[in-house]
Structure 1
Amino acid sequence: MPSGFVLGGGIGLFAASVTPTIPTPDKPQPTAREVLRELKVSTLSYGKNFAAIGFMFSGVECAIESYRGKTDWKNGTYAGGITGGILGLRAGVKAGVVGAFGFAVFSFAIDYYMRH
């Protein structure tokens, strides 16, 4: 879980650093303090999200592995499908199906690459 937080934090820091802050006539140029605060908020937000996804995936994968009594590529694929489905369901049933499929395929690809 700490590695997910660190990876997410790095991505959040990058995302916040490339987000344009274009001043408008009704909003002045942001100060350095405001920019740093936005970097902090974005970094922590991404970090927490990645950690939560990693925690959920790991927990589901361990539960599936314990239930099946086997350690193989199917555990990660099933866990990816369940995790992606749960995350996608927040946006609706169609997004849940797409999320389940996408996360399962990604998990399978990573397992295949790591085992071969």
Structure 2
Amino acid sequence: MSMLPNPADQAAEAAKARMYGSEDLDRLAMQFVGKMQRYRENIVIPRTMGPVKIKTNEEKLLESAVESCGFKCAMACVMGYGLGAALGLFSASVNPNMADPFANTKKQTAREVFREMRATTHSYAKNFALIGAVFSVVECAIESKRGVTDWRNGTYAGGITGGLIGLRAGIKAGVIGGLGFAAFSTAIDFYMHSR
């Protein structure tokens, strides 16, 4: 006589088969989740235009150095010097204070012309370097204080820089210089960000 299995025993056996111990759960977690250690360089964050790799520590260090106030000031100073030198050279080359060829005055030599061009070029370069350095330092300080990067930083920095430069000629010139430089900075900001 064969004995049929009891339905209660079958249910108990099925429940035992589905029970997992903590070791089994740990093994499943390791299978599906993986190790608890992850390497940041291997994580890829999806974006609409394709995958983006997370920056390494060296890239972050270089980026923070380039975005520092000291680097910005140095770059503005160097670029201002170069731009001022170019404008000074152009200004000196079209300067009409050459000797009159029909007058009986002493004619300028090439050495005197080049010396005058060098002095004019150097003067323009120093002034532009100073303006660039002051503007970048003031803008960086304002940006750090406000904690926001927008067009107002350039406008405020332009106003302060123009005012400081204009103050050498008086209060009225300082106010006009501040307003003019602020308007110019705002216009350049809008032009550069609209492209």
TM-score, normalised on structure 2?
A: 0.57
1:2 positional shift:
1.2
Q: Deviations over 1:83-107 (max 9, x none)?
A: 0000111111111110000000000
- The answer for the alignment partner of 1:79 in structure 2 is 157
Higher helix share: 1
Alignment match, 2:6: none
1:22 Cα deviation from its structure 2 partner: 2.6
Can you give the 5+ residue segments of structure 1 that lack an aligned partner in the other structure?
A: none
Return 5+ residue gaps in structure 2 as ranges: 1-76
Report whether the alignment pairs 1:3 with 2:79: yes
What RMSD in Å do the two structures reach over aligned CA positions? Answer: 1.1
Which residue of 123, 133, 136 corresponds with 1:58?
136
What percent identity do the matched residue pairs reach?
A: 62
SS of equivalent to 2:169: coil
1:90 paired residue number: 168
2:113 corresponds in structure 1 to: 35
Structure with larger Rg: 2
- Residue in 2 that maps onto 1:16: 92
Question: Bigger relative contact order, structure 1 or 2, given CA contacts below 8 A and separation 6+?
Answer: 1
Q: What is aligned with 2:193? A: 115
SS at match of 2:127: helix
Equivalent position amino acid for 1:79 in 2: A
Query: Number of aligned pairs?
Result: 115
Query: Quick one: distance in 2 between partners of 1:22 and 1:101?
Result: 39
Match of 1:103 in 2: 181
Provide the TM-score with structure 1 as the length reference: 0.95
Q: What is the identity, as a one-letter code, of the residue corresponding to 1:62?
A: C
Tell me, in whole angstroms, the C-alpha distance in 2 between the residues paired with 1:4 and 1:38.
21
Q: State how far apart, in whole Å, the 1-side matches of 2:129 and 2:150 are.
A: 24
Structure 2 contact 99–106 (Cα < 8 Å) conserved: no
